[in-house]
Amino acid sequence: MRELTLVDAIKEAFCEELDRDEKVFICGQDIRGGIFPYTMGLVDQYGEDRIVDTALAESGMFGLAMGAAMEGYRPIVDFMFGGFTYHTFSEVSVATGQHYFLHGGQRSMPLVITAGVGAGMRLANDHAMAIHGTFFHQPGIKVAMPSTPYDAKGMFKAAIRDNNPVVIPWHLGLMMERGLVPEEDYIIPLGVADVKREGSDVTVLANSLQCKNSLAVAEKLEGEFSVEVVDPRSFEPFDMDTLLRSLEKTNRLVIVDEDWEKGGYASTIAARVVEEAFDLLDAPIKRVTFPNMPVPGGYMEPYIMPNPDKIEAAIREVCA
């Protein structure tokens, strides 16, 4: 075990999979120049045929990846910033997500879509908006998001090996987050949540940067409230069993997520809990999400997005 940043863990996952399978390649805009550190220097190691710079045209870039996946390759298509994926929404959500179903299970679509996302860096809307909630709604697409370097390496390797399309963004606020990562080959199966902190008074379901914030709040409140923090890691497939086991202990739920409040991921999970386990709840479910507005950019971002103060207030409310 050694300590890596989140982006270095992603790079290590890419390198190990490029070495393991010659069908794996990466394409995107300015990836040879290393717009993010995880592609820096890869063209020197793997050549221009496997580290493919594309034109500034997202539909063309994704068309390259989709066509290659249909021919048995395993492309990783890097959109740089998550908001740019919406330029290819029909191709990703309909043509790609439904490909396996529409071909009667006879044709797979093994590709990975990744990008930096997340508010708090003052990058404004199309560079910061969350995308996981949008693709979470589309049938046939797996959606996941790491919160630690350890999870990032294992989840990206699992995504690259999957025969289905996987959207796996990473949060810009965690780019330089450091953590212990094994040198050996390992994967974290998509669809398996992780209890990041045990507790007995309230369950906080939180992902990515908000998982980190929730852990900080849980530590702050230790002695006053016993907070269990569950990281879903995967939004689709979602590990409902782990969440329900947590609620059997705590009987209270706070969901923290940077997706929009209206029709978002938190709304879907809250509805499922009410349908499947209403009797476990001793208090109404509380959601801490992004309001129904564009990401404002500038100095307003930290005040609008979910933050430790809002998470603490939600915990106090459901435990009152």
Quote the tokens at residue 290.
């992004």
Angstrom distance (rounded) from CA 191 to CA 143? 9
Would you call 127 a catalytic residue per the annotation? Answer: yes
Angstrom distance (rounded) from CA 262 to CA 274? 17
CB of 158 within 8 A of CB of 189?
Answer: yes
**Which string of b and e fits 271-284 if b means at least 16 CB within 10 Å?**
eebeeebeebbeee
Structure letter (DSSP) for residue 243: H
Closest CA to 308 of 288, 285, 284: 288
CB of 200 within 8 A of CB of 251?
Answer: no
Angstrom distance (rounded) from CA 19 to CA 167? 22
- What is the number of helices (H) and of strands (E) in the chain? 13, 15
Angstrom distance (rounded) from CA 215 to CA 108? 38
Angstrom distance (rounded) from CA 239 to CA 115? 23
Q: How far is CA 309 from the centre of its chain?
A: 23
Active-site pick, 99, 127, 132, 171: 127
Strand 74-81 to 112-117 pairing: parallel
Positions marked catalytic:
127
